[in-house]
Amino acid sequence: MAKGSIMLQIAVEQTFSGPVNNVPEVWTVVFAALDSQHTVVREIASEKSHAVMVLAAQNNVIVPAIGISQDVATDVWLAFNDLRRPPLILHGPSHVPSPPVDGAALALLRVRDFGMTVDQHAAISTIRRIGSHVYLDETIS
């Protein structure tokens, strides 16, 4: 058997009640089994929307400059039943089909975004939404 067309998708939205000194990083994966047939990854894409403000927690404090990526790190791992065979790792974004891969038994989409920490003289106010997806096709070899 082969799974046919598959979509894997994960989204994380973080809402904070108040200013914080550290914004936790995002690390998440979503995965599904394949039938070790012929796999082509058709698209890897991600989206991020966020607002970040760094505030002085008291008077006469110089607020640190901060630079935030507009993207999240998204990659797709195709793993095999034979653990001696290294996984194939494909980075997003990609909107063209990958070379065909034979024998993949697991598709895993990994999404990462940075955490941030400031000292007690400053605070971070933020909201963050990120989401990624992969489309892949598994056909009989």
Partner 1 sequence: MEIAIIGEGEVVIRFIDRHGHTLLQERLVVSGPPGVQALRHVSLAIGTVRGPAELAPVVASLSNPQQRVTFDGEDPARFARRRCKAIGCSATVARNAARGRAPAPTPRGPGFASVGEPAMARVLRAASDPARRRG
Q: Which residues bind partner 1 (CB under 8 A)?
A: 3, 6-22, 24, 27-33, 51, 53, 55, 57, 117, 123, 125-127, 131, 133
Identify which of residues 7 and 89 has a Cβ nearer to partner 1 in the complex.
Answer: 7
Q: How far apart are CA 107 and CA 31, in angstroms?
A: 6
* Smallest separation (angstroms) from partner 1 to the CB of 27: 5
Nearer to partner 1, 18 or 84 (CB): 18
Task: Name which of 116, 112, 107 is nearest 130 in CA terms.
Answer: 112
Q: Which two tokens stand for residue 111?
A: 């999404």
Task: Give CA–CA dist 134/132, Å, rounded.
Answer: 7
Task: Give min distance, CB of 73 to partner 1, in A.
Answer: 15
